[in-house]
């Protein structure tokens, strides 16, 4: 009778070990591998998003430079227009003075 409780414990230990092995395999192959593949897919997608962001940042920088150039050109044209208006007013004033003298 002394062998019986030890034998039962051995079979319980074997059954528990087998259950642990099954759970380990389940976690490794049913949960872990698809999760690892999903992580790989997400990393690939994240890399593509970073690349797209870099492209957009470059495009934005170019647009900002173009906008700054346009602003400088507009300011130069406005200054030139103001100078021409001032010169026109001076010439009209001179013409009016010349007409009065005649």
Three-state SS string across 50-85, please?
HHHHHHHHHHHHHHHHHHHHHHHHHHHHHHHHHHHH
Rounded Cα distance between 63 and 57, Å, is 10
Give, rounded to a whole angstrom, the gap between the first and last alpha carbons of the chain: 147
Which tokens belong to 68? 């700054």
CA dihedral 66, 71, 77, 83 (to 10 degrees): -150
Helix (H, G, I), strand (E, B) or coil at 43: helix
pTM of the prediction? Answer: 0.55
Tens of pLDDT along 10-34? 888 889 999 999 999 888 788 888 8
Q: Which of 3, 47, 98 is nearest to 39 (CA)?
A: 47
Tokens 């698809």, residue? 34
The tens digit of pLDDT for each residue in 52-99 reads 999 999 999 999 999 999 999 999 999 999 999 999 999 999 999 988
């Amino acid at each position: 009778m002394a062998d019986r409780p030890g034998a039962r414990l051995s079979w319980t230990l074997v059954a528990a070990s087998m259950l642990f092995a099954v759970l380990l395999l389940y976690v490794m192959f049913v949960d872990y591998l698809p999760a690892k593949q999903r992580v790989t897919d997400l990393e690939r997608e994240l890399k593509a998003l970073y690349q797209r962001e870099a492209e957009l940042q470059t495009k934005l920088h170019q647009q900002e430079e173009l906008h700054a150039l346009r602003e400088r050109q507009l300011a130069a044209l406005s200054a030139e227009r103001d100078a021409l208006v001032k010169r026109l007013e001076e010439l009209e004033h001179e013409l009016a003075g010349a007409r009065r003298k005649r």
